[in-house]
Amino acid sequence: MAFSDGIRPRCLLIGNSRWHWAEQRGPSHWIYQHEAAVPEAFDQPIDLLAWAAVGPVPDHFRLQTSRRLRLAEIPLQGIPNWLGIDRALAGWGAWRASAHPVGVMVVDAGTVLSLTRISETGHFSGGLLAAGYGLQLRAMGAATAGLEAVSALVLESDKREPFPLETQAAMRCGALQSLVGLITQAQAQCPWPIWLCGGDAPQLLPLLQQKLGVEVLHAPNLVMEAMVELIS
C-alpha cells in the first residue's frame, strides 16, 4: 500500500493517563504504541482515521467530530450509555476473538482497573471497577502523613517476600495483591476466560497465573486492535 507524502493512517484512543495509537504500515499490518499524552504528536502530518476518548480531550483541529468513534457504534448488546468506550472496545474485541463457548471476562489494568463481562451471545453483563495499581500507590502517598510516594516498579525482592518489612515494598505488594484478590474472587464466581490488557498487566500477569491456575490471555493491544477491526 502506498501512503501519500509518507503520511500513515492512524487511530487514537485518548486515555486517562496515556494515549494509545495504532499506525498502519501495510494493507493488513498495524503497529501499536502506548505513551504519555503528547498533544505535540498532532504537529506532524497524520491521517487520523478514527479516535475515541475516555480522558481529557485537547482542543485540536485534527480531532474532528466526524471521526470520533462513539459508544453506539460498538456492536455489543445491552451497552449502558455510561460505559467507557475503552471497555466496550476491549469487550467486543475479546468476544470476537474468543473460541470458547462461554462468555469472556476482560480485565483492563489501567489507571482504574476495570473488569468487564461479555456473555457468550455478545451482551454486556456487568463488571467491577477499582483503583488501579499506580492510583492506589499515589492515593496512599497523598492521603497519609506517614507514607510517601513510591515507584510502581516491582522489585525482585518484592516477589520473594509475601509480607515485606520495608514500607514501600509493603505498599507495592499490598496494592498488587488487592487487585489479584479482586480478580480471583470474580473468576471464582464467574469462571470465564480472562483477557488481560492495560499498562499494569505485566505486573499482574505472573501473579494471576500463579494464583488462578487457569489460562490468562495477555492481549496488550486489545482495545486498539478492536478499534482497527471495527473501522476496517
Q: What is the pLDDT of residues 136-146, one digit of tens each?
A: 999 998 888 88
Task: Please identify which of the residues 47, 59, 86, 158 carries the catalytic annotation.
Answer: 86
pTM score: 0.90
- Cβ-contact 87, 195 below 8 angstroms: no
The whole-number average pLDDT for the span 91-100 is 91
Q: Is 200 a catalytic residue?
A: no
Task: List beta partners, residue 216.
Answer: 194
- Cβ-contact 129, 117 below 8 angstroms: no
Average model confidence (pLDDT) for the chain?
90
Domain range annotation of the chain: 4-68, 77-228
Outline where 8-162 has alpha helix (H): 85-97, 133-143, 156-160
Measured between its terminal Cα atoms, the distance across the chain in Å is 15
Check residue 150 and give its pLDDT. Answer: 79
pLDDT band, residue 5 (cuts 50/70/90): low
Domain 77-228, CATH number (from 2.60.40.420, 3.30.420.40, 1.10.10.10, 3.20.20.70): 3.30.420.40
